Structure 1
Amino acid sequence: MMRVRHLTAFIAALTLTACVTTNEVTGRSQFITIPPSQDAALGLEAMNEVKKTTDVETDSPDAKRVQRIGRRIAAISDNPNLPWEFVVIDEDVLNAWALPGGKIAVYQKMVDSFETDEELAAVIGHEIAHAILRHGAEQMSRAQAQNLAIAGVGAAVGATTEDGQMAQMAVTLGALAAQGFVQLPHSRAMELEADDVGTLYMARAGYDPRAAVRLWKKMRAMKEGGGQPAFLSTHPTDDKRIQRLESKMSTYLSEYKAR
């Protein structure tokens, strides 16, 4: 039992010490096990898999619009030399996402729902910020560490009991606790961070940052039923996003007017 505890603690301490870095854009400490040199390869591999199973548009008028806005914002970002790629996924889904290495997808419903370039720039700027801040690599790294910790819980319980059901219950409870108190809150923090940096980027690229507030007000109006409670969601509430953006709007506008 003591050996299992010591081994688990040693592995966890070694992993944490080796993988905590400081983000150059935000100054925030991040736990990332994946080197930046692997981001492009991971993102390309994932995007290729998406293209095999999804209707991805790269030459349609909407795709060219997304590419035009995306390249304009990426050019003034903190890493303009990433192998940026911007596509539209032809599905009736109000969503967008970013993969490591600068692979950005916007769903058709998102493009159709926001007709002005400024509002669409708020969406794309947000996703560009995710890529620049390496949030995908950070989430993958946290998932790896979480799995290691859960495996340690199972090993520790298994060393003290022959009851396999009890050991499995300990692992399950550990997974739920990690999701509820570590993974989800951290996801919400990264969403707010991407809101902030993405709005700065769109302002520096010449898009009115006040469109970011309009975007989230429209998103709030389009949602039906209110969704999950905030504490069970990987995303902050729309009201919280709007409030934070409005509180920092003077900074965004200064960047917009100074361009």
Structure 2
Amino acid sequence: MGKLSLKHVVGAALIFVLSACVTTNEVTGRSQFITIPASEDTSLGLEAMAEVKKTAPVLESGPMVDRVRRIGKRIAAISDNPNLPWDFVVIDEPVLNAWALPGGKVAVYAKMVNSLTDDAELAAVLGHEIAHAVLRHGAEQLSRAQMQSLIIVGVGAAVGAATKDDEKAQLAVGLGSLAAQGFVALPHSRSMELEADDIGTRYMAKAGYDPRAAVRLWEHMKTLKDAGGPPTFLSTHPSDDKRIDRLQAQMPYYLSVYKKR
């Protein structure tokens, strides 16, 4: 098989894989590239959470744990996927963060809980993480990372074969990784954060928590962050001001959901 026809075959195969893995999210209507079947989300989340519990100081009981579980389960019950095996844990570390794994596994750090002023602000945090799980953002990020790695390695191999120069091949892989991180991975991650803000605020409002607390949350986070953080362009999270502006623009809708509950 000649070089030109081989490239065509490889290209056609890549297009087939990409098209086969693009689905439309039923909640947002956005197209997503996901190679992982939804049926595997639960096992992935269980495995990852099991690893977390081996090394992190996860609280098993107490008022803080009860509070997080109560609010989390209330929001999850009205989400677009209430039947996920939801699990809400508190990690006893001085970290201002929370995260979600595939399959409905949500963790919030004790410092985050202690930094919030009321249940509504905690509902904004948990609603955001529940939205990540429902929208399958973890599976989407993993799928994109896998595909980017395959493409980058393929480009490096092609450069090496064409130039017979290992250094040029390594440079191509390095530049490809930098481009993928700076112009694909990070911007897409920021868009998913904004998407989770929107859906998560809808969820908290539907569950009976005042959605205006979502704005208070990010105003509060601004005061807690150390000065000199990374600019939005180099961050996986949008700026607090951008989040606040978008939430305020949508607040009439969130309040209508809150009042209809």
TM-score range, shorter chain: over 0.9
Residue 149 of structure 1 pairs with residue 151 of structure 2: yes
Show structure 2 runs of 5+ residues with no match. none
Greater alpha carbon shift after TM alignment, 191-200 vs 142-151: 142-151
Q: Say if 1:4 and 1:156, in contact at 8 Å, map to a contact too.
A: no
1:7 to partner: Cα distance: 4.6
* Contact kept? 1:77, 1:201, Cα under 8 Å: yes
CA–CA distance in 2 between the matches of 1:250 and 1:123? 20
Instruction: Give the alignment partner of residue 17 of structure 1, picking from 16, 19, 27.
Output: 19
d(CA) in 2 for partners of 1:88 and 1:2?
55
Q: 1:192: which partner in 2?
A: 194
CA distance in 2, matches of 1:6, 1:175: 24
1:101 corresponds in structure 2 to 103
Per-residue deviation at 1:2?
Answer: 3.3
2:90 partner SS: strand
CA distance in structure 1 between the aligned counterparts of 2:164 and 2:155, rounded to whole angstroms: 14
Determine the structure 2 residue equivalent to 1:214: 216
Q: CA deviation at 1:239?
A: 0.2
C-alpha deviation, 1:21, in angstroms: 0.2
- 2:161 paired residue among 159, 162, 173: 159
Amino acid in structure 1 at the alignment position of 2:257: E
Identity of aligned residues (%): 70
Task: Tell me the SS of whatever aligns to 2:230.
Answer: coil
- Residues of 1 paired with 2:177 and 2:6: CA distance? 19
For 1:130 and 1:111, the matched residues in 2 are separated by 19
CA distance in 2, matches of 1:225, 1:101: 35
CA distance in 1, matches of 2:8, 2:31: 26
> Which position in structure 2 is the counterpart of 1:88?
90
Partner of 1:137: 139
Q: Is the deviation greater in 206-215 or in 161-170?
A: 161-170
Deviates more, 1:88-97 or 1:151-160: 151-160
Which one has more relative contact order, counting CA pairs under 8 Å at least 6 apart? 1
TM-score after normalising by structure 2? 0.97
Instruction: Report the alpha carbon displacement of residue 8 of structure 1 after superposing the two structures with TM.
Output: 3.9
Give the count of matched residue pairs. 259
State the distance in 1 between where 2:24 and 2:69 align.
30
- What residue is the counterpart of 1:118 in the other structure? 120
Supply the AA of the counterpart residue of 2:193: E
> Runs (4+) of structure 1 moved beyond 4 Å?
none
**Shift, 1:3, TM fit:** 5.4
SS of 1:248 mapped into structure 2: helix
- SS across alignment from 1:86: strand
Matched residues in 2 for 1:4 and 1:192: separation? 41
The Cα offsets for residues 13-69 of structure 1, whole Å up to 9 and x where unpaired, read as: 121111000000000000000010000000000000000011111312111100000
Cα contact 1:98–1:130 (8 A) shared by 2: yes
Q: What is the match of residue 60 of structure 1? A: 62
In the alignment, what sits opposite 2:35? 33
| CA–CA distance in structure 1, aligned partners of residues 156 and 230 of structure 2 | 30
Structure 1 CA distance for aligned equivalents of residues 146 and 62 of structure 2: 38
1:7, 1:49 → 2: CA distance? 40
Counterpart Cα distance in 1 of 2:23 and 2:165: 40
Distance 1:182 1:191 in 2: 14
Sort the Cα spacing of 1:237 and 1:118 in 2 relative to 1 into closer, same or farther, 3 A. same
